Structure formats: C-alpha cells, structure tokens
Amino acid sequence: MPHAPVLGDLATPVTVIDADTGVGEIEALIRADPETLGLVAVDDGTTYVLDRPYLESVLAGRLGYGRALMFRRPARSILPEPALVLPAATAWDDAARAVLNRPAGAKSLPVVVSFDDGRLGIAPVGPLVEHLSRRYESLAQDDVLTGLGNRRRLAEVAGDVLARDDRPVALLLIDLDRFKEINDELGHSRGDDLLRRVASVLAEAFPDRVYRLGGDEFVVLLDDLADESDEYLEKLARRLLHDIQGPFTVAGVPITVEASAGVARTTPGRRDLGDLLAGADTAMYAAKRHRTAVEVWRPELAAESTTDLRLLAELRTAIDRGELVLYYQPLVDARTGRVESLEALVRWDHPRHGLLTPAAFLAEAERSEMITAMTDRILADAVRQTARWHRDGWRVPVAVNLPAPVLAQDRIVGVIAGLLAEYDLPAGALKVEITESAVMTRPERSADRLRAIRELGVRIAMDDFGTGYTSLALLTRLPLDELKLDRSFVHRIHDPRERAIVEAVAAMARGLRLTLVAEGVEDQQTADILRDAGFDVLQGYHFGRPAPPVETTRRAA
Ligand code: C2E
Ligand code: CA
Ligand code: CA
C-alpha cells in the first residue's frame, strides 16, 4: 500500500551551522552546493532557516551593510524569524495547516524537517499548500454521507456535458416522501443509513451519474439518452422509484421508501443547469401534489406553482405600510465571547399570519422586481438603527444580506453610499453578506461592484459558504473580508469526515486572510470545536436568537 505522503518525502537534508559561523563561510557553503535549498542555523536551542533566496539577498548587501563588512559578521546577526520545525513523519495535511497558521510574514519560509536520526532537512511550502487546496476541492465535491458527488460536482460535470455538443440531456430530481418523519422517528443516524442505501441503489443503476443535492434530494444526469420522449423518461423514472422502494431493514424495521421524481430535459438552444434544476423541481412538486409520483416538465406545471401570488401582492403593500421589520442576531468573538457585530434578519409582521420568517416570502420576492424595493427598505432600516446605536455609544457593526438580483444592479453602490451619508454612519459600521450564487452568474461584474462597495469602506462577507459552486480560484478573485461557513457543515461537525472539510476550509480561509465565521452554533461543544479549528467569530442560537432592536439593546447593556 502506498503510504500517505509525509513531510519527509519533500525534504532534503541540509547543513546545520551554529550561530557563530561567519557570513563569509556561509557564502562558501552555498556556493559549494548549488542544489541546496539553504541552510539551517541553531542558536541557543532555537532553529532558523536560511533559505537560498534570503541568503542571496543578504549577500547582495541588501541588509544595508557593505559586502566586506557583511562577510565578517556572524550568522546570528542575520537570523530571520524562528523556523517552523516539524517531524519527518508529519502528514502533508497537518504540515500544510501548520504552515498556513504561521504569521503572514513567515508563510512562505520553508519548513525545517527533523528526521528520526537527528538530521535536519528543509521542505518547500508550495507543494504543501497546493496539496491542501486540491484536497479541499475534491473533498468539497463529494457528499460526505453517501460518497456520491454533491451539488458542486454536479455543476462541474453538467457544465462540461452541456457545453460539449447539442445532444439532449435530461435531469431527474428525486425527493423522498416523508423522510423527515422517518428521521424524527428512527433518529438521524438511521435516517442517514437509509439515505446511504438509496444512494447505493441509484448509483448501481446509473454509475457516475448520480448526485446528492443535500437532504433527501438526489439528481440523475443523463447525457446518453436512447430515447428522449416524455414516455421513455417517465418510464425510466418510475423504474428508479421502484428500485429504491426497498423495503430496507433499518434497525430491524422494514422501511418502504416512497419518493417522487421530476424530470426536465434540454430544449434546442437552452442548455442551462439552472433551467434543468428549476424545471425538474417544478415537475417534482407537481408529482407530489398530484400524487402521480413522476412528472415530466411542461409549461402548464409552472403556472400551477404560482399559488403564492396572493402573498406576493400583499408584500407590495406590506413594504409601504412598514410591515417588514428587522431582527438582529449577535455574532460573537470566538475567544472572548463578546458581541463583535450583528446580522439584520428580516421578518414580516403579517396582519393575519403573524410574524413570518424569510422562508415564507423571500424566494417569491426574489423572483419579482419587488426585491429591489424590499432591499432598499431593509438597508435604510438597518443603517438608521445602526446609526442610532452609534449615537448612543454602542459602536456595533451591522451586516445586511444582499440578494443576487440586487447585487446584479449598478445602482446598489449609490444606494449604500447615499444611506451612509444620510444617516452619517461610518462605512466601517456596515457589512454586506452576499452568497455564492449572487456572484456566480457574472463573476467579473459582481467583483467590480463589490470592489466599489468595499471602496466605500463597507466590509464584505461571503455567506452560506460551502453550499454553492464557488471554487477556491473564484474566492481569491473576489474582494472579501469574511467567509461564513454554512450551518449545514456546522451541524455535522461531530462527524470526523465533515470535520476534515471544515478544517481544510478554515486553513484556506486563513491562507486568504479572511475572517472566518461559523453560523448555526447551537451548543458550547460545537463552539469549542470551531474555536479550536481557528474560527474567529461564531453565530447561532447558543449565543442569542434574532431579536427586535429594543431587546438587542437591552441584551447589550
Ligand atoms: P442566513 O443569512 O444564513 O441567516 C441565518 C439564518 O439562520 C437566520 O434565519 C437565523 O435565524 C438562523 N439561525 C441563527 N442561528 C441559528 C442556529 O443556531 N441554528 C439554526 N438552525 N438556525 C440559526 P432566518 O432569519 O429565518 O433567515 C433565513 C435566510 O433568509 C437568511 O439566511 C438569509 O439568507 C435570508 N434573509 C434573512 N433576512 C434577510 C434580509 O433582510 N434580506 C435578504 N435579502 N435576505 C434575508
Ligand atoms: Ca446572512
Ligand atoms: Ca448564512
């Protein structure tokens, strides 16, 4: 079995000098061995790495001493920061994390490697960091629970398949019925068992074509259709539903799995994953509603699903009547527990239905042009309230969620600048949270707009990180200050595999020098794990639920 890569594999043994060695002698040593990456100096028990680029800059006189003078000085006078020393048996993952954990100035210095026999070597950091980032990319494309590809991998594969040629592609969305009840009744770990069983049946029927989107939703992506008729696709979906029916014995109980499926396929000229998913989703809900188990998308289904039109019409007046209110939830410093900022979260104080959370109206609002008026209102409210807190002496920054359709408009920069001026609030007191999907559609345009917002002095957080499609490459190109890891990761952090992902994300975020935030923290144990993994800021019911401004003020007092 090939062993997992360890630091020793990367290291080359080096000459160890003591701190009295003269710089002239060091020069002779590196001249004698043109291959060497550098030297290691030990002074008073502390180890320093003198890598070749550093030595060359010293010898070129760049430290401000003349060359002759320099040559007579001892190594002690040119020692950099103490080196990171790790045993040769350290796994690459661990070594890479340790490297990224160093202070900014020391990040690129080679690592000193101590071998079992007492010799020392040095290892370059480039391959380590690259390894970690590759591992993250691949971990981040697998669904930890089932081993199937996840939404990210689907996006990547579908991107290729849809761009390749114009053969029809079909997408089947399968959603288990009443899975929540099974979960509640049998417990999460048995619910997980069941998901694994379903996953393996699906994967056997369509190897390498099945993805889990999250929860109890599975996708099959088919690009080699023998027949593209509705009848054929429907038959195929029914056969799959039959296969996953079971019964499976979970904890001694035979369970029959009922599920519904929606099917959508590409049409000439329209080959977009978003369209396929939306179409399959509409069809799947129709299948549940009609109790037909399977539906293939057709335009009539879309018209049916707009039953929330009434709510949407009411929302228009709600904005004008001031029925939208903001609740505020604290984000705390992971080490001190002090409130670091607040997030503004909208609620609709509905005259008949009572207090509605965004789940009841936000998706609909985002699909209509009303989202602009709504966000303007929310921003104005949040800035006004924050300015009030500042005037009262509580200088707390407040974060506002910026939905994708709003970030897509140039006007948003002026709106934010105008509000800051109107309420005389320093820009540093405002944060905006954006999601991966908001920047995915036109990354370059969004990056420009975000840059303009950030130039005002407003901070920018990437929300729900891990659930979307953002590659690390994209992340490095966006002007970000914070990364908020999605709560779905946080809730699974007690699973060691999930923890590995969270730790890899944490290491990368530190490499990019982003403030790392975790949301959905519901207990102290989770808070401890996250703090130890290097999270800077925590948010969740454990520290406080969203509350109206008055209560938020009282809690802060
Ligand atoms: P989000 O931005 O991820 O906001 C955090 C959500 O997690 C909030 O739900 C919050 O109440 C909930 N939460 C906080 N702590 C915990 C916890 O410990 N455990 C669990 N399970 N949940 C926790 P909420 O307020 O229902 O908001 C849902 C989503 O709606 C938000 O997710 C955000 O995407 C959107 N949203 C909320 N307010 C606004 C707004 O003013 N404008 C826009 N555009 N979107 C908003
Ligand atoms: Ca948010
Ligand atoms: Ca979030």
First to last CA, the chain: 61
Query: Considering only CA atoms, which of 286, 304, 306 is closest in space to residue 296?
Result: 286
Cα of 401 vs centre of ligand 1, distance in Å, is 9
Tokens encoding 423:
């309420």
Q: Closest ligand 1 atom to the C-alpha of 406?
A: 44
Helix extents (H) in 75-178:
92-100, 126-139, 151-164
Please report the pLDDT score of residue 140 as a whole number. Answer: 73
Ligand 1 atom closest to 357 (CA): 26
Instruction: Specify the residue with its C-alpha closest to ligand 1, atom 20.
Output: 520
Nearest to 373 by CA among 400, 405, 350, 397: 405
The alpha carbon of 306 and the centre of ligand 2 are apart by a number of angstroms equal to 26
What is the position in ligand 1's atom list of the atom closest to the CA of 327? 25
For the record, the structure tokens of 284 come out as: 């799947």
Backbone angles phi, psi at 249, to 5 degrees: -95, 115
Res 286: pLDDT: 86
pLDDT for position 495: 81
Query: In a 10 Å sphere around its CB, with 0-12 CB exposed, 13-18 middle and 19+ buried, how is residue 247 labelled?
Result: exposed
Which residue's entry shows tokens 């690592």?
Answer: 111
Whether ligand 1 lies within 6 angstroms of the CB of 518 is answered as no
CA distance 432 to 313: 28
Q: Which ligand is nearest to the CA of 400?
A: 1
The residues, any chain, with a CB within 8 Å of residue 219's CB and separated by 6 or more, are: 154, 171, 172, 173, 174, 210, 211, 212, 213, 277, 280
Of 122, 180, 227, 97, nearest to 533 by C-alpha is 97
Neighbours of ion ligand 3 (CB under 5 A): 463-464, 519
DSSP for residue 360: G
The per-residue pLDDT for 72 is 81
Say yes or no: CB of residue 401 within 6 Å of ligand 1: yes
DSSP strand pairing (38-43 vs 46-51): antiparallel
Residue ID of nearest Cα to ligand 1 atom 11? 546
Task: Specify the CATH class of 311-556 in words.
Answer: alpha beta
3-state helix, strand, coil in the chain (%, to 5): 45, 20, 30
Q: How far apart are CA 122 and CA 80, in angstroms?
A: 15
Q: How far apart are CA 458 and CA 473, in angstroms?
A: 23
- Enter the CATH code of domain 7-135: 3.10.580.10
The residues spanned by each domain of the chain are 7-135, 142-298, 311-556
Q: In what helix (H) or strand (E) does residue 199 lie, and over which residues does it extend? A: helix 188-205
Residue 527's nearest CA partner among 327, 336, 328 is: 336
Q: Would you say 196 and 203 are in contact if contact means Cβ atoms under 8 Å apart?
A: no
CB 214 within 8 A of CB 488: yes
Q: pLDDT per position in the chain (557 positions), as tens?
A: 346 789 998 888 899 999 999 888 988 888 888 888 889 999 988 999 998 888 887 777 666 666 777 778 888 888 888 999 999 999 888 888 888 777 766 767 889 999 999 899 999 888 887 777 777 766 677 787 898 998 888 988 998 899 888 889 999 999 998 887 777 777 888 888 899 999 999 999 999 999 998 889 999 999 988 888 999 999 999 999 999 988 888 877 788 888 999 999 998 878 889 889 989 998 998 888 778 899 999 887 876 655 556 777 888 889 989 999 999 999 999 999 999 999 999 999 988 788 888 988 888 788 788 899 999 999 999 999 999 999 999 999 999 999 988 998 899 999 999 999 999 999 999 999 998 877 766 677 888 899 999 999 999 999 988 766 556 666 777 899 999 998 888 888 888 777 887 887 788 787 788 999 999 999 999 999 999 888 999 999 999 999 999 999 999 88
**Ligand 1 contact via 345 beta carbon (within 6 Å):** yes
Q: Is 424 helix (H, G, I), strand (E, B) or coil?
A: coil
Q: What is the CATH number of domain 142-298?
A: 3.30.70.270
Q: Quick one: angle between helices 496-511 and 126-139, nearest 10? A: 130
What is the token pair recorded at 49?
A: 């790495």
Residue identifier of the C-alpha nearest atom 3 of ligand 1:
464
Query: For the sheet containing 16-18, what is the strand order?
Result: 16-18, 38-43, 46-51
**Token digits of residue 30:** 């590196």
Among protein residues, the one with the nearest Cα to ligand 1's atom 34 is 401
